[in-house]
């Protein structure tokens, strides 16, 4: 019974983190200040074509999973495929949030306030899902694969991937609409910096407590 309770707590923390992450990414895109870097490509295409941001994000996530197999080669694991059903659920949550939250951007102070909330939720949600060591979000999964294959530090690989996504978004915006900043803006830059800082602070304050609750670390022994 104790093991079941711990397992349930672990999955509960993970799912709450996933929902917070989906809300944060969606709110970021609604500010009109640009989407977060990792999803700037589907957001730019969505802005140019009117297609669903969530559906396009699913396409990108599936491509990320495919890229993980190519990057890892013989060291690939079929568990990578579990990221696809996760992505389907994740992007459906994104579509739901966008449909029930008709936020109208255009008032800069309010947009910046919304951006701060988005960054906080994204950072906390990402930290909670990663800390539970279950199924990674494809954005995190491809970064981990690049890091493992190259031997480079995880944060550096994340920064490089973010930069590549932003460059692709600038090119797509230019070719599709003649607007390089169609899906990239101040919010993209701030989120690239802010999300990592939020994750660091959250982990410093709550990571060990959450992992103890989930049964991933032993409680401290008092002597």
pLDDT digits (tens, 9 = 90+) for 58-68: 999 999 999 99
Count, residues in the chain: 223
Alpha-helical segments (H) within the chain:
2-30, 40-49, 53-72, 83-100, 108-131, 138-150, 154-177, 186-202, 208-213
Least confident span in 2-11, 36-45, 101-110:
2-11
Is the distance from CB of 34 to CB of 40 less than 8 angstroms?
yes
> How does pLDDT run across 145-174, given as a tens digit for each residue?
998 899 888 778 888 899 999 999 999 999
**Cα–Cα distance, 64 to 204 (Å, whole number):** 29
Determine if the pTM surpasses 0.85: yes
Residue where the block lists tokens 């600038």: 170
Instruction: Tell me the C-alpha to C-alpha distance, in Å, between residue 76 and each of 2, 151, 158, 177.
Output: 33, 16, 20, 38
């Amino acid at each position: 019974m104790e093991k079941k309770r711990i397992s349930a707590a672990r999955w509960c923390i993970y799912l709450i983190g996933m929902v917070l992450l989906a809300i944060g990414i969606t709110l970021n895109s609604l500010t009109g200040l640009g989407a977060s870097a990792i999803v700037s490509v589907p957001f730019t295409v969505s802005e140019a074509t009117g297609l669903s941001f969530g559906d396009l994000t699913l396409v990108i996530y599936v491509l990320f999973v495919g890229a993980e197999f190519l990057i890892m080669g013989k060291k690939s694991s079929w568990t990578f495929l579990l990221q696809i059903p996760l992505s389907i659920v994740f992007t459906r949550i994104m579509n739901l949030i966008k449909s029930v939250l008709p936020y109208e951007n255009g008032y800069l102070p309010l947009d910046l306030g919304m951006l701060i909330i988005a960054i906080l939720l994204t950072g906390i949600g990402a930290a909670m899902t990663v800390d539970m060591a279950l199924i990674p979000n494809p954005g995190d999964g491809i970064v981990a694969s690049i890091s493992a294959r190259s031997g480079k530090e995880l944060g550096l690989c994340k920064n490089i991937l973010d930069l590549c996504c932003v460059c692709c978004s600038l090119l797509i915006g230019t070719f599709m609409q003649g607007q390089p900043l169609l899906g990239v803006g101040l919010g993209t830059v701030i989120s690239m910096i802010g999300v990592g800082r939020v994750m660091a602070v959250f982990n410093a304050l709550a990571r060990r407590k959450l992992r103890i609750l989930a049964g991933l670390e032993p409680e401290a022994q008092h002597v």
